[in-house]
Amino acid sequence: MQEPPDFALRNGGQSDSQTSGLPAMPKGAEQGSILRCDVPILKPKRCSLERLNRLAWAGRASLTMFGLRVGVRVSAPEFLDRFLGCIPARWKCARPQSVDRVYSFIARGASPRVDVRGSHLLYANSQRLARTEDLGQLVETFESDLNSYIAQTAQQWFFVHAGVVGWKGRAIIIPGRSYSGKTVLVKEFLRAGAKYYSDEFAALDGHGCVYPFPRLLSVRAEDGQTRTRIRAEDMGSETGTGPLPVGLLLWTHYKADAHWRPRVLSSGRGVLALLANALTARSQPALALATFERAAVRARVLNSIRGDAMETVESVVKYMERQVLCSTSSQSASLELT
């Protein structure tokens, strides 16, 4: 069987910071850690892609998602599924020759030349992302970096830090940053029968429609530090598959002992809620405004601090039901008129 060709970067090997907008690794930090590892082949500050290419790769996959091509290669074939399993976005296999970003995973003990004191290694292009003995931590690093890369690099898409669920053909977007309680609300919506879209990003296309970005639900334990990952299906919920128009924007965050007392905001304020949590609005402000306007113009916008998630979701679901009833009755009224 012919050996598949290895990955080549579509941008011709420009640095990550040039292509993705991600901050470059601080000078010295990488160098120091590599020198400590005492790995002859990885001695340069960045392990060049050519050197990584020369290693023996037992499994590789090339994927397309949100217009980006990403390559994943592993030194031991049994790890490939584990990496592919945590990719949240819907992806398609692509031709392996040229990719925008390649992840290289070197399993502990896979190669005598790169065995770093029994640690696993993960690279994004030529930049080392992690060296750890904990495979789970490594996979999380991979997932986190990939998500950030997609969200910050995908052209013609806007990513808003938000939880998203689908409700009767409409998306409910809960924009907010870490620790604002998005995931708890998303879980509660799923219990109420909503479809899962994301607990991390709302991926909006140029028409203002939301696409699924269904990463594993990340649930913090009561200590606030440790997290567990679960699938929406484990909660008996479905995961959304297609794009949805935005039906509701919930601009909220958790506060202990607070109660959900929503007030309706204008569409313009809804656009601000999206902008306040958008990843690349600063680099494409005109496009961001246009996209978010298309999303918010059809949506209701509710704003309140919240306490108990169940109380909030029950109230929102009732509100949504009333909206559906109103729109159905107005549609039938207009049909009668015509």
Q: Which of residues 288-327 bind other proteins (CB under 8 A)?
A: 289-290, 293, 296-297
Q: Is 267 in the site for other proteins (CB under 8 A)?
A: yes
Residue with tokens 């037992």: 58
Which pair of tokens denotes residue 51?
A: 């050197």
DSSP assignment of 5-53 equals: PPPEETTSS--HHHHH-PPPPPTTHHHHHHHHHT-GGG-SSS--HHHHH
Q: Is 219 in the site for other proteins (CB under 8 A)?
A: no
Judged by CB under 8 A, the stretch of 91-99, 106-114, 164-172, 275-283 that binds other proteins is 275-283
> What is the closest distance, in whole angstroms, from the C-beta atom of residue 209 to other proteins in the complex?
18
Beta strands in 212-280 (DSSP E): 217-220, 227-230, 246-254, 263-265
Q: Is 18 in the site for other proteins (CB under 8 A)?
A: no
> What is the closest distance, in whole angstroms, from the C-beta atom of residue 269 to other proteins in the complex?
6
187 or 253: whose CB is closer to other proteins? 253
Displacement of CA 34 from its chain's centroid (Å): 29
Q: Exposed, middle or buried by CB within 10 Å (0-12, 13-18, 19+), for 166?
A: buried
Q: Is 180 in the site for other proteins (CB under 8 A)?
A: yes
> What is the closest distance, in whole angstroms, from the C-beta atom of residue 178 to other proteins in the complex?
5
Alpha carbon distance 159, 227 (integer Å) = 23
Q: What is the DSSP letter of 80?
A: H
> What is the closest distance, in whole angstroms, from the C-beta atom of residue 336 to other proteins in the complex?
27
Q: Is 268 in the site for other proteins (CB under 8 A)?
A: yes
Binding site for other proteins (CB under 8 A): 21, 23, 148, 151-152, 160-161, 176-180, 253, 266-269, 271-272, 275-282, 285-286, 289-290, 293, 296-297
